[in-house]
Structure 1
Amino acid sequence: MSATRLTVRRAGTVAAVATTTVLLAAGAAFAHVTVHPDSYAEGATDGVLTFRVPNEEDTASTTKVQVFLPTDHPVLGVLVHPQDGWTAKVTTTKLKTPVKTDDGTITEAASEITFSGGRIGAGQYEDFDVAFGQLPDNTDRLVFKTLQTYSDGKVVRWIEEPTGGDEPENPAPVLKLTSGDASAAPAPAKTAAATTTAADASDSTARGLGIAGLVVGVLGLAAAAFALLRSRGARS
C-alpha cells in the first residue's frame, strides 16, 4: 500500500471516529431534561417556561415527570398548561421568607409540579408548558431538579447541579437569569407578514437589478451599432 493511500485511509478513520463522537455527544445532550428558553431577565413577569422531556429508553415509556421548583428563590404565579392525556398537579409550600410584591406579600409558592397519566414512547419527547407571574431578581440562576419515571419502574434523577467544567451525568434543568429589562421577553420569531415583506423587497430588488442590466445591454448594443455605421461611412 502506498504512503498516499495509507494517509488517506488514516484520515478517513479519524474523521469517522470524530463524527461518531460528535453524534454520541449530541444524543446524550438531547436525552437530558431541559428548560426553554434557557435564560430570562431577572424579575421577568408574565412568561412561559417549557420543560422538554425526551424518552431515552427503548423498551419503556415515560409515565410521570416531577419538576421541583426552588423555594429559596421562588417562582410566583405558577400556572400549568392543559396537556392531552396528562394530569398536572401543583404543590405549594409556605415560604420561609415571604416575598413582597406590588400586589401584596406572598407567603406561599409552587414547590413541585407533577405530570402523570400520559406516555412518552421510545424516540419521542413531550413539552410541558408552565406559565409564571414573576421570576426572582436576587439570583443568577434557577435549578429545577426533575424526576423522570418509566413504565418499568425505573426513575432517572435529573438533579445534579453544574459546578463548572464538565457537565454532570444527570444534570438538572437550569434557567439563567440575566440583568436587564425585566419586562423583556425572548425575541419572537419572524411573523409571516414580515417574512412576506422581506421576500417582496428582495424580489423587487432583483427585478430592479435585472431591468438595469437589460438597459445597460441595450445601450451597449446601440453604441456598437453606431460605431459600426460610422466605420462603414468612413470607408465609403
Structure 2
Amino acid sequence: MTDRTRTPRPRRTRLLRAALGSGALATALLAAGAGVASAHVTVSAPEATPGGSDAVITFRVPDESESARTVGLKVRLPTDTPIASVLVQPKTGWSVTVSQAKLATPIKTDDGEVTEAVSEIDWKVTAGGPGIAPGQFDEFSFIAGQLPDAKTLTFKAVQAYSDGSTTSWIEEPAPGSSAEPEHPAPVLTLAAGSGSSSSGPPDGSGSSGGSSEPASPSVSASASDASNAAAEAANPDDAASKASAVTGIVLGALGVLLGLAALVLALRRHAT
C-alpha cells in the first residue's frame, strides 16, 4: 500500500537540486558582480611626490569584456597641473602616439621655461598583436620628469575593444560626495615623503655622500609607515576591491541559506 503523505524520491531530488541551484546561482551572480565592479583602470606611482621628478607612473588596465579584447588605451594628462616632461616605456605589440598642448602658464624648470607639455598618450595594438584578452590585464607606464606641486593628479582614460566598443574612465565624484562613479577617472595621489626623488632633500642639507651615523629606529619606522600609507593612498581601489569581495561572499552565503529555507518549506508542504 502506497503512503501518499510522502513525496516521491524523484520529486524530492528535483526540489533539492532546484533549491541548491538557486542558491549557487545567487552566489555566482553576486560574486561576479563584485569582481566586475572592482575592475577599473587604475593608476599608481609609489615614488611620486609633489614637485618631484623621475617617477614611474603606471596604468593597470583589466579587460572587462566577455568576448572582446582590449586593443587601445588613450590617456589624457592634466593640463591645468601639467607634467613638465614624459618618457613613454616601449611596449611589445603596441604602438604609441604622444600629443602635446601649449600651456597657458609656462612651467619653470632648472633648464628654463617649458611652454608645451604632453596632453595625451595613445597606445594602440599593432597588427597581429594579441592585445589584452578577456579575464586578463596589462600595464602601461611612463616616466614623469618634473611633477607639479599638487596633491592629486586626475587622468582620464578611454579603453577600446576589438568589437569597436569603448569604455570611458572619465567620471569624477560629485562635489562633497564620497560615492564612487560607475566609470571613475584614475586619480594619482602625490604624497610627500612617499619615496625617493632626484630633487634632493627639502631643506637642501643632504649630500650625495650621506652620513656615517645610522638613522634612529623611530625615524626609520616613521619613514616606513609614511611609505606604506602613501602606497595605500595611491591605490584606493584595493580597499574598495576587498570590501566588494567581502560583500559578495556575505550576500552569496545569504542566497544559499534562502535557497535551503525554500527547500525546507517545500518539503513540509508536500509532507502534509
TM-score, scaled to structure 1:
0.65
Aligned to 2:239: none
Q: Measure, in 2, the Cα distance between the counterparts of 1:64 and 1:131.
A: 20
Aligned to 1:169: 182
Q: Measure, in 1, the Cα distance between the counterparts of 2:139 and 2:52.
A: 21
Q: Measure, in 2, the Cα distance between the counterparts of 1:35 and 1:179.
A: 17
Q: Measure, in 1, the Cα distance between the counterparts of 2:190 and 2:87.
A: 20
Match of 1:85 among 69, 86, 93: 93
**Greater length-normalized contact order (CA 8 Å, ≥ 6 residues apart):** 2
Q: Measure, in 2, the Cα distance between the counterparts of 1:49 and 1:55.
A: 20
The CA deviation at 1:102 is 1.2
Alpha-carbon distance change, 181 to 173 in structure 1, aligned in 2, over 3 angstroms: closer
The CA deviation at 1:24 is 3.4
Letter in 2 for 1:155: T
Aligned to 1:48: 56
* Identical-residue share of aligned pairs (%): 47
- Where is the strand percentage greater, Structure 1 or Structure 2? 1
- Aligned pair count reads 173
Gaps of 5+ in 2: 1-22, 199-225, 229-272
Post-superposition Cα deviations, 1:175-215, rounded to whole Å, max 9, x if no partner, equal: 01234478449969xxxxxxxxxxxxxxxxxxxxxxxxxxx
2:51–2:146 CA contact under 8 A, matched in 1:
yes
Match of 1:128 among 112, 117, 140: 140
Alpha-carbon distance change, 181 to 116 in structure 1, aligned in 2, over 3 angstroms: closer
Letter in 1 for 2:168: R
Alpha-carbon distance change, 166 to 181 in structure 1, aligned in 2, over 3 angstroms: closer
The CA deviation at 1:19 is 9.8
Q: Measure, in 1, the Cα distance between the counterparts of 2:26 and 2:46.
A: 31
Q: Measure, in 2, the Cα distance between the counterparts of 1:63 and 1:168.
A: 24
Aligned to 1:33: 41
Q: Output the aligned Cα RMSD.
A: 2.8
2:45–2:55 CA contact under 8 A, matched in 1:
no
Q: Measure, in 1, the Cα distance between the counterparts of 2:148 and 2:98.
A: 19
The CA deviation at 1:40 is 2.9
TM-score, scaled to structure 2:
0.57
Please list, as runs of the form range in 1=range in 2, the aligned pairs for 1:1-236 lying within 5 A after superposition.
Answer: 21=30, 24-29=33-38, 31-37=39-45, 40-117=48-125, 118=129, 119-137=131-149, 139-163=150-174, 164-180=177-193, 183-184=196-197
Q: Measure, in 1, the Cα distance between the counterparts of 2:194 and 2:181.
A: 31
Gaps of 5+ in 1: 1-13, 189-236
1:35–1:51 CA contact under 8 A, matched in 2:
yes
